[in-house]
Structure 1
């Protein structure tokens, strides 16, 4: 089956309780905290709460709040004070109480906004480990000194746990045990078929169940205009032989698969010659044909 590039009109250009030495090994990179906590209003706007038709998306927090029993009564009415005291006394007997939420001002290096982390009380300190920021899992450790309301990020060493979310943590003796959770794991895939020239500045696109690599620049600074497909079901590479108007050698271009077409725009070549041309490759006549579909 003939594979054709077609041009389109050009466009205009060990012990965690020890404060100073926390175990693990391997120093971690410096953490840059969020300057201010994120709130749903900051992310979505206050109008969302009053508009049930608007879709709400998750927001992530790095704030700390705590609850205290037996709220203060601000009324000067003696009867109100007496009535409140009687009510509190009655609720104490029933196992209830009155509680007040407070949001203290925090100092130090704050953890980033997150969820699905673990928080473990160790004496007067709170150890926060891992979780997810909504994009990727985390394995950082933060300690909150509740006596001074100060966050700290200790240096950790040894076998640092892989980034994870949804795990559990429990203090047993002097050790904080972390169990389970969900992690992202990289896996190197073994492929067969044609071996590609190592390159950079290329593009990768997706068509059906195929991964399409086009063009780029090799290790000898030579520019390329070849097209390869990786069948993700068989993990086999094939080179696509193209005909029609030749696509000039290039790197730094962009490609996007749209329907049956791979659309290529711009890039640069020797002497940094810049392109503003547009080409299309009929994927149905090329990729499908190579795979015998």
Structure 2
């Protein structure tokens, strides 16, 4: 895997701009369109499903980013809500996290390649309006896909992923496993190396601040496409690409100490 997959190269448009109308709810008994690589989470008795891709006649197409599906687990009814504001571009392999009524989307691939942008939307109100998170403090993580996020004490803590770095970033990093050399540009930055990382980055929404906690112990090998979850004050990861075995690691989110189970 280097650069974009065939499906990602087929992206021909992105959904951007402002949509003024409020969210519209349409009750449906039929399920949502089949999809993979989407984001889903629970809030109360509702399951939320956003984004992803769909395979039709052997071709993968990416689903709209200006809509979100809700499944009421008590009534068994699906509903579709439209989303406005600064709608994210069509994305694949992004990481979603839900915190205090807000859905945060970070990274992923858009029409231009790997990204490190963040969007958020308040799902607690009547209208669902996206906002691009800008004017952040601290160093934003490099572009990446297939990473994960732990939610702990009003913080979003991201781990791992696959992406690209500059020559300088690779030379200064001990947390990056090079996949292969590829040349591309993202904005005004020149990127050369692609690979996996085992970095830990923390985002605090209240202050819009990025930090990179210094961890202790033996960290997991760099990886992407792993499973993760938060239990108490600890974040767990399991498996992932480039791994020879299904391993489980735990990061204490208070002491920042890694432990392999």
TM range (shorter): 0.3 to 0.5
Q: Under a length normalisation based on structure 2, what TM-score does the superposition of the two structures give?
A: 0.40
Which has the larger share of strand?
A: 2
Q: Under a length normalisation based on structure 1, what TM-score does the superposition of the two structures give?
A: 0.36
Which has the larger share of helix?
A: 1
Larger radius of gyration: 1
